[in-house]
Structure 1
Amino acid sequence: MTNNSIKPGQVWLDTEGKRIHSHGGSIIYIDGTFYWYGENKEKSKPGSNIWHWGVRAYASQDLYNWEDKGLIIPPNLEDESSPLHPSKFLDRPHIIYNRFTKKYVCWLKIMQPDASQKSTVLVADDFLGPYTIVKEGIKPLGMSAGDFDMVVNPSDGKAYYYFERVHSEMICADLTDDYTDVTGYYSTHFPQSHPPYVREAPAHFYRDGLHYLVTSGTTGYFPNPSEVACSSLYHGPFEVLGNPHVGDATNTSFGSQICSVFKHPLKKDLYIALADRWVTEHTPGNPTTYEEAAERFDRIFNPKKGMDPTVDHFNPVDTTKSDFVWLPFRFDGKMAYLDWHDEWRIEDYE
């Protein structure tokens, strides 16, 4: 079946009729082809001890129909200590191209057993791989680095790394010339005392002289209100503008979490928020509303309440059934809004 529109929140199949698995993902445009890549969750059933099955990529000419290009970063099944082993908590791959070294550079977030988070860096000569690990187990700036985004300044090729300093604040760090490490120069933003208030999942885009960061709160796989902020500089300061999701009475960003924002290169002003709907069915014992999830996370992480991680137990979420919510931004002055559409088409934009 050929798709001719985007239908947020509905099951999305590739050109072979298989469910797409490209979560926490991004789109990169290379030589006239769109490539969508992300976490492959096809085997991540609760109880399987499989968090991921590598990084999968898809190719498209129209953003509707996606051809499976396979695992560009396959899981390492032989070495249980490898950050690529399926049991490791590998999240949110981001790939940027270095025009000076002619390398594709991929950063991965790997959550550790003690809940700290470290980074693995890989490089490849071709976007589709093969990728080779060049650094692993690193803590950028000595920090536990969580959800992140990476952006390259198109004018001078300088790269920046936005990441959540786990359960604390957002960091913007300069990357080295080869994009495989940080220089040591950084700025801090949106400080908060603890989840669920800490901002995570940063998604950067640039429009009309402003750098935008869209972030979510910290409630695990359970969705919460997004927040958009902007600045004239990569390093801020950022002005918080508010929740972009229009009419979202559930306070769940339409039941999703934005992972990246893609500027359509062939359109004047089309910016697409790519989001994951991680939870598509309720698991008994888990929160049913944002307010319930936020209250649980506050009780677990609030130092004034004892920070007791055993206060509430969360049951595993079946991410093999996670879907995608892609929506176009609408701008009014500086503010970026997301309206709900049951269906929308790229062709409706200039």
Structure 2
Amino acid sequence: MKTLFSFILIFGSACHFVLAQSASEKQAVIRPGELWPDSEGVHINAHGGGILFYEGVYYWFGEHKTAGRMGNRAMVGVGCYSSTDLVNWKNEGVVLTVDAEGSGSDIEKGSVIERPKVIFNEKTGKFVMWFHLELKSQGYDAARTALAVSDSPTGPYVFEKSLRPNPKTWPLNFDSSWKEKTITEHALESWSDEWKKEVAEGLFIRRDFESGQMARDMTLYVDEDGKAYHIFSSEENLTLHIAELTDDYLDFTGKWAVIEPAGHNEAPAVFKQDGKYYLITSGCTGWDPNAARSFAADDLFGPWTALGNPALGEGAELTFDSQSTFIVPVQGKKDAFIFMADRWRPQNAIDGRYVWLPIKMKDGRPILEWMEEWDLSYFD
């Protein structure tokens, strides 16, 4: 009876996403937080995602979720959708498939694959995907970043490796006197002022110096000169790291810096306007939403200046019940950027929704305001 009930529950949940909308009916607006049907009328399944623009087409990559609490594990892989208008999306299928259960692969079925991002390398002609990876049955202890590569934006992507970045290298903005400290993480009371000071002065960087730094929530950014950067939550989610990638985007150069040490930031999303870099992050409250943070810098390696919560109005204290994942530059429109975020549904992962809002600048800081629906004419 329990098996039958479980089947009915999962089947009913799946049916919930086969929408009544005709597959040929096109959408005209973005409705944040609502079901977002693809061209076949099925809710888009690309969570924690990012956007690649290539040859006139936007490609949306994200975590392919399944029904129920187990749906946050990687049971299928990474999905991809394509669009020419950022509103109507075609399902391009699963472009990175997990390996079989029992294979022992880093991306074995049941591992955790989060926040996949894809960038195109003009020198090599390769499409390069990096994502946060947790090994199967290890909870969130592995804290690795992982690489997959393809010859086509829609895959298939071939898994190459997973690792912890920047072993045996110090960040650029690290005082030389901190390198020789011997204090350990267990020597101080967690969250005390003294402990926070030691975290800011490299407590966990020294701990992970030999093995490489932890890497969880992440994004990628390609600057105007073609240099690519990997930004990720590290040091037990206490500090963001920004690391330069090699020219082929397949590894780390060893040039990296810390952002907001001991600030407890995750979910980084970055954009550039008028020569200045802007970063939107969240705090760390698990699947629950919190108030977003924003920062600005003249150089990606910092220093970064805190600008406060970019969200305004009702719901701002929880970022409109969402968490940042990426910022989309709108092609053909000057200074047009979309804040891309997720509403997580941990009890039924496939029911996660998307909150996309236009970013506007006011007094040198990015601003987010709730809109029930909107379209790209907003930027006109």
In the superposition, the TM-score normalised over structure 1's length comes to: 0.84
- 3-state SS in 2 of match to 1:347: helix
Q: Which runs of 5+ in 2 are unaligned?
A: 1-24, 168-211
Are 1:262 and 2:365 matched, yes or no?
no
Contact 1:83/1:90 (CA < 8 Å) preserved in 2? no
Q: How far, CA to CA, are the matches of 2:72 and 2:93 in structure 1?
A: 22
**Are 1:168 and 2:238 matched, yes or no?**
yes
Match of 1:147 in 2: 217
Equivalent residues in 2 for 1:1-350, closer than 5 Å: 1-41=25-65, 43-47=66-70, 50-112=73-135, 113=138, 115-116=140-141, 117-141=143-167, 142-155=212-225, 157-165=226-234, 166-192=236-262, 198-249=264-315, 251-279=317-345, 316-350=346-380
When residues 137 and 161 of structure 1 are mapped into structure 2, their CA distance, relative to the original with a 3 A threshold, is: closer
State how far apart, in whole Å, the 1-side matches of 2:70 and 2:307 are. 40
Distance 2:257 2:160 in 1: 26
Alignment check: 8 A CA contact 1:25 1:37 kept: yes
* Number of residue-to-residue matches in the alignment: 308
Shift of 1:79: 4.5
* Partner SS for 2:278: strand
Distance of 2:240 and 2:314 partners within structure 1: 25
Bigger CA radius of gyration: 2
Letter in 1 for 2:83: S
Match of 2:12 in 1: none
For residues 29 and 71 of structure 2, the distance between their equivalents in structure 1, rounded to whole angstroms, comes to 34
What is the CA deviation profile of residues 51-106 of structure 1, one whole-angstrom value per residue up to 9, with x for unaligned ones? 44211111112111111011111222254422332310110111111111111111
Aligned residue for 2:350, secondary structure, equals helix
SS in 2 for 1:145: coil
Determine the C-alpha separation between the residues in 2 that align with 1:118 and 1:338.
31
Give per-residue Cα distances to partners, 1:214-268, cap 9 Å, x unaligned: 1100111111110110101111100110101101446210000010001101111
Q: Which moved more, 1:30-39 or 1:246-255?
A: 246-255
Q: Aligned partners of 1:13 and 1:210: how far apart in 2?
A: 35
Change (3 A) 1:103 1:79: farther
Q: Deviations over 1:92-135 (max 9, x none)?
A: 11111111111111112112415231121111111111212222
C-alpha contact (below 8 Å) 1:119/1:136 kept by paired residues: yes
C-alpha deviation, 1:170, in angstroms: 0.8
- Unmatched 5+ residue regions in structure 1? 280-315
How far apart are 1:46 and its partner, in Å? 1.7
SS of alignment partner, residue 251 of structure 1: helix
Per-residue deviation at 1:347?
2.0
Q: How much does 1:327 deviate?
A: 0.1
Do the aligned partners of 1:49 and 1:87 also contact (CA within 8 Å) in 2? no
Query: Quick one: which amino acid aligns to residue 86 of structure 1?
Result: K
CA contact (8 A) 1:228 1:243 kept: yes
Match of 1:311 in 2: none
CA distance in 1 between counterparts of 2:372 and 2:149 reads 38
Change (3 A) 1:218 1:80: farther
Please report how far the alpha carbon of residue 181 of structure 1 lies from its aligned counterpart in structure 2 after TM superposition: 1.4
Structure 2 length normalisation: TM-score?
0.77
Query: 1:323 and 1:232, CA in 2 relative to 1: closer, same or farther beyond 3 A?
Result: same
Q: Which residue of 2 aligns with 1:288?
A: none
Instruction: Measure, in 1, the Cα distance between the counterparts of 2:71 and 2:368.
Output: 36
CA offsets, 1:144-182, max 9 Å, x none?
111111111222x21111111132211111111221111
The two structures, once aligned, show a CA RMSD in angstroms of: 1.7
Does structure 2 retain, via aligned residues, the 8 Å contact 1:151–1:161? yes
**How far has the Cα of 1:19 moved from its partner?**
1.1
Q: Name the structure where helix makes up a greater proportion of residues.
A: 2
